[in-house]
Chain A
Amino acid sequence: MNRTKPETPDSETTDETLLRTDDVTKKFGQLTAINDVSMSIPEGEITSIIGPNGAGKTTLFNLFTGKYEPTSGQIRFRDERIDGMAPHDIVDKGVVRSFQITNFFDDLTTRENVRLATQAQYSGFGASDFLRHYTSLDGAVDDAEAVLERVHLLDVADRQASNLSYGQRRHLEIGIALAAGPDLLLMDEPTAGMSPEETLDTVELIEEIASDTTLVLIEHDMDIVMDISEFIVVMNEGELIARGDPAEIRTDDRVQRAYLGGE
């Protein structure tokens, strides 16, 4: 496949916008889930999207990744419109997500879960993709090993995915997303439900990934958000109510009222 693979980490040097939305609105029948949101995700940084439940954070991810099409407005990735594209085409562009609820292939082994994701970059509809054995696709197998090592799952690579511990399942979730080779990785509550120890571990992993990949997190744990984000977007009831660096957000009145103050 002709995808540009994640390459040199050059986050410090550029402050370019990687993903941008212009006046995006999404309605489900009468309900407006996202209302006129314009924002931009800077390349090479960790951006967090925060907001109370029902603020529209996950819907935003679904819009970015092609699960939903915006009712109006545009979404651009590297200045190319991606709204209305099929999910797999958006993945091809380099936008990949992980899921809040673990969402993979329970019956397969950990390794096979990851390998299936890496395989996407090596196989298509050529004759050999129908006739060769799947394990003979060396590139996919090697990439899968690398990803497994990165998310610390090599030890349990042969275990059936449904038998992994909770923390391991969360890592596999991230691993599958990584295996798809993202330039922009959208992570939906990567630390939700984790013990403090597992959380620490995951935060380390996130920071490690951030070294070569632009990240957008949906995260509830404010400590983590304030700690690792370089940029924060605050949503409430489908609207974008504030954005800025952690210091700015901490002191923003509207944020205080809508969100932080409520707790």
Chain B
Amino acid sequence: MVENYKCVIDYDLCMTPKRSTTKGGQRDASQPSTTTSRRRFLLSSGVAGTAAALGGCLGGITGSDDGTLTVGYVLPFSGTYSLLGESIVNGFELFLDQNDGQIAGREVETVQSDTEADTDRGVSVTRQMLVDEGADVLVGPVSSAVAIAMMQTVENEASAIWLNANAGDYRVVKEGCLKYHFRTSFNDWQTSAPLAPWVYDNVADNVVLAYADYAFGQNSKNFFAEAFEEAGGEVVGEVGVPLGSDDYSPYLGEIEDSGADAVFSFFAGSDAVNYVSQFSDFGLDDKMTQTGSGFLLSEDTLPAQGEAALGKYSILHYTPTKQNDRNQEFVENYMSEHDSRPNVYAVQGYDSAQAFNAAVDDVDGTDPDDLADSLSGMEIDSPRGSFQFHPETNDPIQDMDIRQVVESDGEVPVENEVVETLERPELPTWGCSL
């Protein structure tokens, strides 16, 4: 058992440098890193040869009774979503670096395999992490479709807790309601509904809804519409746009023709870039106020959106410019390791590490049932502001920021400024009662 420590600490002995350390280039290679990435090809050298080839490095295979914790990233590392995957890893590993590479005083081994943001691969990677790597905790995924597809496997194996560091689809709670599933991120109700009464009070009493036409976009749109009508507003139209569209001209026409004073939008990633830029290109900024879920105007899209984003409102649980000590410290630490400001995904990764740390510390072990009991209702001191895991759904009860895009004198000419913080809006439980 003890000999396993050696190779985990001396990472050059077992592994070649991993992606996230080489890319930013900030991490000093000579510094004993705690993060190792076990590559599949090292294991493939044959069933019999594996143990010999890797020596004591296979500590994690049957779980972690040797004390080493195994963290399995179920994240995309290629294609468009790789930015999100890497940010989550960066956040998680920032915590590790701040704690001598340890979680609750134990050594940590991280394992990653690219989900490609593909549901099918997601299931396979989940299985790999749970069965092959003996992960004590799953971190991820990015895509809600992957999260939904993972539920069955996580439930069947019942061998690790699952810290969902992004995927916000409410159905993971409604239909999964898994004991082991804890969201360190958000759910799609939070990034839409609480904005509705605010828009009604401060912007307009009528809106048109624009959304990427897939489950997540539809959920967000529905939650907003429901809350907006409840607040007394009127939804005058809705425009669904196929996911991954390049040209929004026909839809912008419909949005304009609706005659609404404001628009609530759900788009993310490159869709958000196209939508927001073209919204501005077509001169719609002069005609209506743009509001949306925070992914519409986030750190990963603002550089490309540039001035087109100015003045637009959105709601999210984290804003890097937020003025509180906890956040300022976090931003500083993050920027000393990476060139860029932390984004919401990095915070979700960081908080996953915090939550895992607290739980392992609390139960002094890795039994998933014990960890789940410990995490339930736990309060986490996050850069976003403190949040609590809902005792019944394990979703985060957290503050939500209403932000507006303003000019900035930083490298990116625009940034989000918090206009108002909604204190812990009460979450629906969708019949889940853990």
Direct touching of A and B (C-beta under 8 Å): no
Tell me the A residues contacting B by CB distance below 8 Å: none
